[in-house]
């Protein structure tokens, strides 16, 4: 049994002053609602188990970062694009969400679906928020720096650089220009540049999520011929990126150590979501426990495309009655139950978030 513990003592004393979120549809809470793109989730049955309904979250309920915010004693980080005109508030911000569905590390990723915010653009918007809005709540640069250094930054990015770029050979020629190893190096090099940029803007407590096993998602398994539960050659691409991620973070930490960034002090964190995803998908079996996942292969929300797409009403989307018994919500995304498990392990556990969990991270001065 998982036990969730919030380190925030009350609504008035959260464990961290703010939670800032960057990434893709795993974390998007509504930014794409305001962009000209096909990658949206602001309609039912998305949000069928969320108190505010369909908000732009690509799942049936809350996301990983929603749970992390709750565990920290913070409100959910609102989508930045929905607040551009209302950022000048009397109280300091408790976080913002810059994540954008279909986007990735590379600027062209996801462009075939319309406009989205790539990682560089997301960090650019954070820079704008810091300089134009957040800084106005603090009298001195030191006060602002202290606030940012204690805030938590969470990033999940990179899977779309494969799904909506490298593997999309009809729209992109990336796989012709880069072999898998070269592409993984390209992504981590670009990622490193953006992380350093985020560091110089004040981020110190950063949580980096690995790419999940994209060879196991329904959009892949139901369209690509394979043996076993997953398409291993596609999982190998994700693994190649993940294998480059840890050394990249270590090198970045070493290069910035004279500025106060030390991996050993858990100011740079990597989460091993690949392993927890893969173990659940490949080793799960039906259970008599009504609270357990019973389907780790099929999407809860199925369209006439056999559960390989997003949950789109125009494609005949039909959601299952008990989504939280499913691992997958649609062809690409997970259910609230799985996100809750990942967030809980990362917050309190010892095997998912390394070298320290979030609870330990925020406890450090």
Which residues have a Cβ under 8 Å from the Cβ of 312 and sit 6 or more positions away?
303
Rounded CA separation 107/123 (Å): 13
Q: What is the pLDDT of residue 6?
A: 36
Provide the number of structural domains found in the chain: 1
Q: What is the pLDDT of residue 93?
A: 86
Residue 249 lies in a domain: yes
Residue 314 lies in a domain: no
Q: What is the pLDDT of residue 10?
A: 44
Residue 170 lies in a domain: yes
Q: Say which of 76, 244, 277, 333 is annotated catalytic.
A: 333
User: Do 194 and 119 contact (CB within 8 A), yes or no?
Assistant: yes
Q: Which domain holds residue 273?
A: 19-284+335-363
Q: Say which of 66, 102, 330, 345 is annotated catalytic.
A: 330
296 is annotated as an active-site residue: no
96 three-state secondary structure: strand
Rounded CA separation 332/212 (Å): 11
Rounded CA separation 201/20 (Å): 12
| Cα dihedral 129→134→140→145 (10° resolution) | -70
Residue 289 lies in a domain: no
| DSSP state string for 220-239 | HHTTS--SSSS-HHHHHHHH
Count Cα neighbours of 127 within 13 Å in the Cβ-side half-sphere. Answer: 14
Residue 310 lies in a domain: no
Q: What is the pLDDT of residue 183?
A: 99
| Structure tokens given for 221 | 């398994």
Q: What is the pLDDT of residue 57?
A: 98
37 three-state secondary structure: strand
Taking residue 121's Cβ as centre, other Cβ atoms within 10 Å add up to 15
Query: The domain that contains 271 carries what CATH number?
Result: 3.40.50.1110
Q: What is the pLDDT of residue 354?
A: 79
Residue 317 lies in a domain: no
User: Which of 108, 101, 120 is CA-nearest to residue 166?
Assistant: 108
SS (H, E, C) 259-292: HCCCHHHCCEEEECHHHHHHHHHHHCCCCCCCCC
Rounded CA separation 169/292 (Å): 38
363 is annotated as an active-site residue: no
Residue 203 lies in a domain: yes
28 is annotated as an active-site residue: no
Residue 23 lies in a domain: yes
**C-alpha to C-alpha distances, 110 to 25, 29, 81, 118, nearest whole angstrom:** 11, 17, 18, 9
User: Do 66 and 97 contact (CB within 8 A), yes or no?
Assistant: no
Q: What is the pLDDT of residue 271?
A: 65
Q: What is the pLDDT of residue 178?
A: 98
Q: Say which of 24, 25, 76, 309 is annotated catalytic.
A: 25
Query: Each residue's pLDDT tens digit in the chain (365 positions)?
Result: 233 333 444 456 899 999 999 999 999 999 999 999 999 999 999 999 999 999 999 999 999 999 999 999 999 999 999 987 665 554 568 999 999 999 999 999 999 999 999 999 999 999 999 998 899 999 999 999 999 999 999 999 999 999 999 999 999 999 999 999 999 999 999 999 999 999 999 999 999 999 999 999 999 998 888 888 899 999 999 999 999 998 898 888 888 764 444 333 233 566 666 666 666 665 555 443 445 777 888 899 987 666 667 888 877 788 999 998 999 999 999 999 999 999 998 999 887 787 888 999 898 87
């Amino acid at each position: 049994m998982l036990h969730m513990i919030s380190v925030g003592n009350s609504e008035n004393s959260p464990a961290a002053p703010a939670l800032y979120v960057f990434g893709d549809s795993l974390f998007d809470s509504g930014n794409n609602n305001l962009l000209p793109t096909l990658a949206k989730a602001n309609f039912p049955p998305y949000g069928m188990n969320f108190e505010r309904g369909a908000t732009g979250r690509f799942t049936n309920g809350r996301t990983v970062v929603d749970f992390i915010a709750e565990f920290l004693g913070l409100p959910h980080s609102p989508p930045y694009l929905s607040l551009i005109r209302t950022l000048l508030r009397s109280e300091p911000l408790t976080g913002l969400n810059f994540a954008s569905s279909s986007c990735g590390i590379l600027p062209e990723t996801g462009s075939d679906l319309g406009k989205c915010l790539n990682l560089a653009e997301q960090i650019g918007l954070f820079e704008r928020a810091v300089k134009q809005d957040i800084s106005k709540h603090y009298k001195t640069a030191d006060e602002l720096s202290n606030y940012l250094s204690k805030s938590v930054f969470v990033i999940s990015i990179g899977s779309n650089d494969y799904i909506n770029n490298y593997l999309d050979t009809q729209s992109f020629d990336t796989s012709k220009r880069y072999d898998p190893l070269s592409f993984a190096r390209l992504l981590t090099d670009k990622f490193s540049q953006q992380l350093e940029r985020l560091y110089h803007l004040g981020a110190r407590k950063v949580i980096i999520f690995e790419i999940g096993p994209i060879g196991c998602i329904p959009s892949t398994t139901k369209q690509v011929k394979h043996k076993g539960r997953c398409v291993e050659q596609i999982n190998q691409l994700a693994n190649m990126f993940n294998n480059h991620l840890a050394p990249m973070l270590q090198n970045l930490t070493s290069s910035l150590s004279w500025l106060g960034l030390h991996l050993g002090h858990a100011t740079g964190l990597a989460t091993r979501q690949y392993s927890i995803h893969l173990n659940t998908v490949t080793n799960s079996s039906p259970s008599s426990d009504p609270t357990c996942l019973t389907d780790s292969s099929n999407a809860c929300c199925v369209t006439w495309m056999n559960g390989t797409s997003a949950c789109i009403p125009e494609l005949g989307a039909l959601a299952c009655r008990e989504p939280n018994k499913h691992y997958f919500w649609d062809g690409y995304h997970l259910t609230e139950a799985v996100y809750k498990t990942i967030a809980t392990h990362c917050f309190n556990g010892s095997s998912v978030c390394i070298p320290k969990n979030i609870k330990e991270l925020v406890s450090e001065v």
